[in-house]
A and B are shown apart, each in its own frame.
Chain A
Amino acid sequence: MTASRLQHTISSSVVFLIAAIVAYISFTQEPADAFLFPRLIAIFFVSLAAWNFVRAITGVAKVGAGLDMKEFKNIIPGLAVMLIFVFFAAKVIGFYLSSTIAFMLIFTLYDPAPLNNGKAWVKRLIVTVCFMTVMYCLFALLLKVQTPSGILF
């Protein structure tokens, strides 16, 4: 079994599992009238997921390159920043401050310029400040969106 085939098998079993859960909930919950449509969809969902699973196991599924481990390692730091930023920092620290920090972090993490390069830091700072100023003008001043201010800003 090749790596790609293994990955396809795993991914299709996850999709099948979701389909199975959806079907289980649809057919056990009441009132039945409200779940009529979910039940219809669940039938299609489960059959398609099963078909997809068989295709993956037999190695027919070729579409989709799968995950490359090197790429995946590259994603992890950025994804971590993103998850912390959205699920935690945005509400607790405040939208604008946490966005500034997250922007700066992502920029730094994926900027090829070395970390000990002073000029690169100045550039990062300027870009971040400019971008956040535009965001503030657009959302806070023009559109008057009330963002959670958290403990700071």
Chain B
Amino acid sequence: MEFLSYFGGVFEPTAFLLLLGGTIGGLILGATPGLSPTMAVALLIPFTFHLSPTQGLILLGAAYTSTVAGGAVSAILLKIPGAPANIATALDGNAMAKNGEGARALHLSFLSSGIGGVIGVLLLIFLTPVLAQWALAFGPSHLFWMAILGVTVIGSLDSRSFVKGLLSGCIGLWLSMIGFDDNLGAQRFIFTDSLAGGINIIAALIGLFAIPQVLDMFSKGRNSSVIEAIEVPKQAFMESLREIMRSGRSLSIGTIFGSIIGLIPGVGGQIAGLVAYDQAKKFSPDKEKFGTGHPEGLIAAESANNAMVGPSLVPLLTLSIPGSPTAAVLLGGLIIHGIFPGSDLFDNHPQVAWTFINSMLIGQILMVIFGIYTASWAAHIARAPVPIMAAAVMVLALFGAYSVQQSMGDVYVMLSLGVGMFFLEKFGFSAAPLVLGLILGPIAESNFTTGSLIANAQDGPIIYFMTGTLNLFLIVLVVASIGYSFWSNMMHGKMAKAERATS
């Protein structure tokens, strides 16, 4: 209960103002296409030079939590996911906004972010010593199997066709191999200079989700009927609250998967949302509603995203090992102030450590308040007339893709992937499994290579990758996941056949 005695620090006037500023600023930065939480936090580091360590960390902590949630805003309203974390949010959230339920989607997204986030931070507070050992347990062989486990959900993720889902995943895996290979430095599949740096994940996300949408708007043509604004029913906050209370299943799935995945260094929050979405779908009685604007998917994805924030800091704060890119930036922010995470942090600077953690707790609540407050206003964006929307998303996609690394190459890749995806989608392929392949490819490959090198120095790859409790447990999960996919695919086929026979 040590943390309770440091709550005072959060409510000092300067600290609280910074907390407010960090939260609001984080929401805006997070909602800006092309600006991932990692970049947003890195942008704020220079501001902390002028602050005391505690104040600096309050700013960074508040910004971290709210950028993750802010990414949901552009995912829902514009279908431009701000970061890989928000991909699953875009799937159902944007469909809801298009049905005129933008305010409801935003309310649910912020509420589930807040609930997941608070639970994540509480895990950080109470279970840190236990969790730190758990985070270290994942070596290269386990991370490899984790990535393979992620690959196995590709077939069932947001695709109506099993083959085409897998095929989309393969395209993603291939795209992830483009560029310099990380271990040997060999050049692979570099056809033009723009590809020399590989495919940047954020730029790819913008292209794959935003551009097909723009082209879809174009396809309606100069049709006056489409410009009619959809009637937006007023969304009362209490109603959203009641709805969230009823969604215990997706909330707990999201929170549990988010916290577990967030803890594993190197896999991080990138896939937490997608995995939680997929699991929520598997456990839901309304499987077929996913992807058409079903709140369950949105709630699972967003609660997972923010639940991962707290646990992802466990390895950083206890062992000084950054478990995610954003944690790496936070580490830099700490070191600049001469504070080294690890036992030193909690023993010698407890006021810094606990004020930081507490500020994330308060930050979650502030984020929900501000998010809800602006939701009904922000939801109007999704109702903008189609031609304005198309033009705006196009320009935003260009600026977003460019600002990731200030490189025109990324912009070209963004548009090419986007146009390609538009045509692929017309034939039943989908972007979500493709992106999952793009994210998991490098994780699987690098851990396989590192693991093989270690294995060669020890007892050989078979013993290294196939023995040990954690390896065997993960392998069982992989097999079960593949089996489930095939089984449900077959059942689906049978049902479709039966339907055709009766009709």
Direct contact of A and B (CB under 8 A): yes
Chain A residues at the B interface, C-beta cutoff of 8 Å: 7-8, 11-12, 15, 18-19, 22, 25, 29, 31, 33-35, 37-38, 41-42, 44-45, 48-49, 51-52, 55, 61, 63-68, 70-72, 74-75, 77-79, 82-83, 85-87, 90-91, 95, 99, 102-104, 106-112, 127, 131-132, 135, 138-139, 143, 145-148
Taking CB atoms, residues of chain A closer than 8 Å to B186 are 31, 34-35
A104's nearest neighbour on chain B, judged by CB, is B391
**Given the interface contacts A66-B426, A102-B395, A106-B391, does A75 sit within 8 Å of B218 by beta carbon?**
yes
Taking CB atoms, residues of chain B closer than 8 Å to A111 are 222, 385, 387
A78 to B218, CA, bound (A): 6
Beyond A41-B170, A48-B166, list 19 extra A-B contacts (CB 8 Å). Answer: A22-B189, A29-B188, A35-B186, A49-B167, A49-B170, A63-B161, A64-B427, A70-B221, A86-B411, A95-B399, A99-B399, A106-B390, A109-B222, A110-B218, A110-B220, A127-B388, A132-B395, A135-B395, A146-B406
A66's nearest neighbour on chain B, judged by CB, is B426
Do residues A110 and B387 form an inter-chain contact, with CB atoms below 8 A? yes
A15 to B420, CA, bound (A): 11
Can you list 30 A-B pairs, Cβ within 8 angstroms, ordered by A?
Answer: A11-B427, A15-B171, A22-B189, A25-B189, A29-B188, A31-B186, A34-B184, A37-B448, A41-B173, A45-B167, A48-B167, A61-B428, A63-B160, A67-B423, A67-B426, A71-B221, A78-B390, A85-B394, A86-B411, A90-B411, A102-B391, A103-B391, A103-B394, A110-B217, A110-B218, A111-B385, A112-B224, A131-B395, A135-B395, A143-B32
A64 to B386, CA, bound (A): 23
The A interface is mostly helix, strand or loop, or mixed, namely: helix
Do residues A110 and B386 form an inter-chain contact, with CB atoms below 8 A? yes
Taking CB atoms, residues of chain B closer than 8 Å to A22 are 174, 189
**Given the interface contacts A34-B181, A78-B390, does A112 sit within 8 Å of B227 by beta carbon?**
yes
Please tell me if B223 contacts chain A, counting CB pairs below 8 Å.
yes
The B interface is mostly helix, strand or loop, or mixed, namely: helix
Task: Give the interface size bracket for B toward A.
Answer: 35 or more
Do residues B163 and A51 form an inter-chain contact, with CB atoms below 8 A? yes
Do residues B167 and A64 form an inter-chain contact, with CB atoms below 8 A? no
A106 to B177, CA, bound (A): 35
How far in angstroms is the closest Cβ of chain B from A110? 4
B189's nearest neighbour on chain A, judged by CB, is A25
How far in angstroms is the closest Cβ of chain A from B253? 27
A107 to B160, CA, bound (A): 34
Taking CB atoms, residues of chain A closer than 8 Å to B445 are 37
Taking CB atoms, residues of chain B closer than 8 Å to A110 are 217-218, 220-222, 386-387, 390
The residue that B219 contacts in the complex, of A52, A64, A72, with Cβ under 8 A, is A72
The residue that A91 contacts in the complex, of B403, B408, B425, with Cβ under 8 A, is B408
A148's nearest neighbour on chain B, judged by CB, is B408
Please tell me if B35 contacts chain A, counting CB pairs below 8 Å.
yes
Chain B residues at the A interface, C-beta cutoff of 8 Å: 32, 35, 43, 160-161, 163-164, 166-167, 170-171, 173-174, 177, 181, 183-184, 186, 188-189, 214-215, 217-224, 227, 385-388, 390-392, 394-396, 398-399, 402-403, 406, 408, 411-412, 415, 419, 423-429, 441, 444-445, 448
How far in angstroms is the closest Cβ of chain B from A109? 7
A110 to B399, CA, bound (A): 22
Taking CB atoms, residues of chain B closer than 8 Å to A147 are 399, 402
Do residues B174 and A45 form an inter-chain contact, with CB atoms below 8 A? yes
How far in angstroms is the closest Cβ of chain A from B448? 7
Taking CB atoms, residues of chain B closer than 8 Å to A65 are 426
A79 to B240, CA, bound (A): 39
A65 to B32, CA, bound (A): 33
Taking CB atoms, residues of chain B closer than 8 Å to A12 are 427
B400's nearest neighbour on chain A, judged by CB, is A139
Taking CB atoms, residues of chain B closer than 8 Å to A132 are 395
Do residues A107 and B388 form an inter-chain contact, with CB atoms below 8 A? yes
How far in angstroms is the closest Cβ of chain B from A136? 10
Taking CB atoms, residues of chain B closer than 8 Å to A108 are 387
A108 to B427, CA, bound (A): 30
A45's nearest neighbour on chain B, judged by CB, is B170
How far in angstroms is the closest Cβ of chain B from A125? 13
How far in angstroms is the closest Cβ of chain A from B414? 8
The residue that A44 contacts in the complex, of B170, B387, B426, with Cβ under 8 A, is B170
Taking CB atoms, residues of chain B closer than 8 Å to A68 are 219
Taking CB atoms, residues of chain A closer than 8 Å to B426 are 11, 64-67
**Given the interface contacts A41-B174, A91-B408, does A99 sit within 8 Å of B398 by beta carbon?**
yes
In the A-B complex, the 4 residue pairs with the closest CB atoms: A64-B428, A63-B428, A34-B186, A74-B221
How far in angstroms is the closest Cβ of chain A from B374? 16
Do residues B222 and A112 form an inter-chain contact, with CB atoms below 8 A? yes
A29 to B385, CA, bound (A): 50
A54 to B223, CA, bound (A): 38
A10's nearest neighbour on chain B, judged by CB, is B427
How far in angstroms is the closest Cβ of chain A from B446? 9
Do residues B222 and A52 form an inter-chain contact, with CB atoms below 8 A? no
Do residues A107 and B391 form an inter-chain contact, with CB atoms below 8 A? yes
Q: Which of B166, B221, B227 has the most A CB atoms < 10 Å from its CB?
A: B221
Taking CB atoms, residues of chain B closer than 8 Å to A145 are 399, 402-403, 406
A11 to B220, CA, bound (A): 22
**Given the interface contacts A102-B391, A103-B391, A112-B223, does A52 sit within 8 Å of B406 by beta carbon?**
no
A40 to B183, CA, bound (A): 17
Do residues B219 and A74 form an inter-chain contact, with CB atoms below 8 A? yes
Do residues A102 and B387 form an inter-chain contact, with CB atoms below 8 A? no
How far in angstroms is the closest Cβ of chain A from B489? 13
The residue that B188 contacts in the complex, of A35, A48, A109, with Cβ under 8 A, is A35
